Amino acid sequence: MPRVMYLGTNYDSTGELDFFHWCIDARKHGYIENFAKCEKGLDTMELIGKQYYTKGGIRKHCFASVGYTPDFVIHGLKEQRVLEKEIDGDYLHYIDIKPAVSKYNDKKQFQIIRKMVLHFKGIYIHRITPDDLFLATWVPEACRYTEVKKNVIKKFRKTPTVKEFFGI
């Protein structure tokens, strides 16, 4: 996956950067209280520790640990319709950004990890596709236009801006 650098922060994809722009708008207009981009290592949840076996009385390493790092954490989302499942009482929402179509076909792997996080940590990971989110809410200005000619991207022509969405 191509990495993207924006204001000194690495994003794993343009989808993550697009979601970052959406979160900026959402926070500015009170749709969410706050958000954070998660960092590998610092925000990684260990699901299963290293596995060992014993051979000839000597303990040997067999498998590495299994961990998961969400892409974002949203605090205090005002309206849960942007998420795939509404979970009562959740103040923190853990977000994983996925493209609509992936050449890596990582959907199965993500489903397994998501089940493990729910089982071991009691945390539901919300899968968000930025384009679907934009069509359900608004398109951030940074994501609305083509790079070269600065025309509105065809699929977003009927999607409101953040000001239109909030009636400003």
pLDDT tens per residue, range 27-42: 999 999 999 999 998 9
Per-residue pLDDT at 105 exceeds 70: no
Per-residue pLDDT at 135 exceeds 80: yes
Residues 81-110: what's their mean pLDDT?
A: 77
Residues 84-94: what's their mean pLDDT?
A: 75
Q: Are 20 and 37 in contact (CB under 8 A)?
A: yes
Range of the domain at 75: 4-165
Closest CA to 119 of 107, 111, 127, 108: 111
DSSP state of 105: -
Structure tokens at 131: 């384009």
Beta-carbon contacts of residue 71 (< 8 Å; ≥ 6 apart): 12, 16, 19, 37, 38, 95, 96, 97
Beta-carbon contacts of residue 149 (< 8 Å; ≥ 6 apart): none
> Which of the two residues, 3 and 98, has the higher pLDDT score?
98
Overall number of domains in the chain: 1
Q: Are 97 and 128 in contact (CB under 8 A)?
A: yes
What does the alpha-carbon distance between residue 109 and residue 141 come to, in Å, rounded to a whole number? Answer: 33
| Exposed e or buried b per residue across 2-39, where buried means at least 16 C-beta atoms within 10 angstroms of its C-beta | eebeeeeeebebbbbbbbbbbbebbbeeebbeebebbe
pLDDT the model gives residue 107: 79
The amino acid at residue 117 is: V
Count how many residues are written for the chain. Answer: 168
What does the alpha-carbon distance between residue 70 and residue 103 come to, in Å, rounded to a whole number? Answer: 21
Four-CA torsion 7, 125, 33, 36, nearest 10 degrees: -30
